[in-house]
Amino acid sequence: MIDSVRDRMSVKDQLDLTGRVALITGGSRGLGLAMTEALAEMGAKVAITARKREELEEACTHLRSLHIEALSVVSDLSQPETIAPMVAAVIEALGPIDILINNAGTSWGAPAETYPLEAWRKVVDLNLTGAFLVTQEVAQRSMIPRKYGRIVNIASVAGLKGALPEDLSAVAYHASKGGLVNLTRALAGEWGRYGIVVNAICPGFIPSKMSRGVLSVIADRVIAATPLHQLGMERDLQGLAVLLSSEAARHITGQCIAVDGGVSAV
């Protein structure tokens, strides 16, 4: 019979993140900020990065009101030259990075037949290329040498299927999130030998700054088509983000978990 300290860990201890260092991209608001709160609540030391300094300052003020101290580093992940200095700053301040949440993202709506190349590049450069470059940097500097890591990519149900034009015309968003889904699987395959688990969360529609305009038009249709007959909330990602960032995920990798009220199941 296999018997070890790890096998006898309590569930509470498996989910405990005390002492772990977590980097959350796009952590200044919305889903990123909610996941930052969750990881910090479970004991992680947290660093957030985003493009706008003022939003990071607002996020840190909010986190302090919850008795959470967060490091903030300005970085535009669509600009590759900003990534290595950002990761270096986090490591210097907090230590090697154990957990990476790739949450930064953007979208652009337009019919596919007239979709501007500029818009395509903006979305793909941030949502897919930026996520890859951050992951590569963190893996090289922290996770591969220490043979430990938890990577959580925030994809989307839009990366699992298409959409009717009356619901969503955002071909680059679909493509970038689909790419992030398969990037998750590819990295899980390559980096399992280093003790790194790589998973993705695929949210459905959750009210946010990015989705507010679309939901103002289609919210009723989305709710009607959702088995649970509700929209998601930011807190719906918190528990799953903790799980996939913890010791409880030691045997879960390459998975893309939809948090969409059942939309992708029917």
Indicate which residues carry an active-site annotation: 173
Q: Report d(CA 21, CA 238) in Å as an integer.
A: 17
Burial class (CB in 10 A: 0-12, 13-18, 19+), 6: exposed
DSSP 237: G
Distance, CA of 22 to CA of 44 (rounded, Å): 6
Gap between the Cα atoms of 253 and 65, Å rounded: 34
Q: How far apart are the first and last CA of the chain?
A: 42
Listed residue (125, 135, 123, 146) closest to 23, CA to CA: 135
On whether the CB atoms of residues 246 and 199 are closer than 8 A, the answer is no
3-state secondary structure 178-196: HHHHHHHHHHHHHHHHHCE
Asked if residue 244 lies in contact with residue 200, where contact means CB atoms within 8 angstroms, the answer is: no
Given a contact cutoff of 8 angstroms between Cβ atoms, the answer to whether 109 and 214 are in contact is yes
Alpha helices by DSSP H, 16-147: 30-41, 53-65, 83-94, 117-124, 131-138, 144-146
Give the CA angle between residues 12, 13, 14 to the nearest 5°: 90
Report how far apart, in Å, the C-alpha atoms of 261 and of each of 5, 20, 56, 162, 221 are: 37, 31, 30, 17, 14
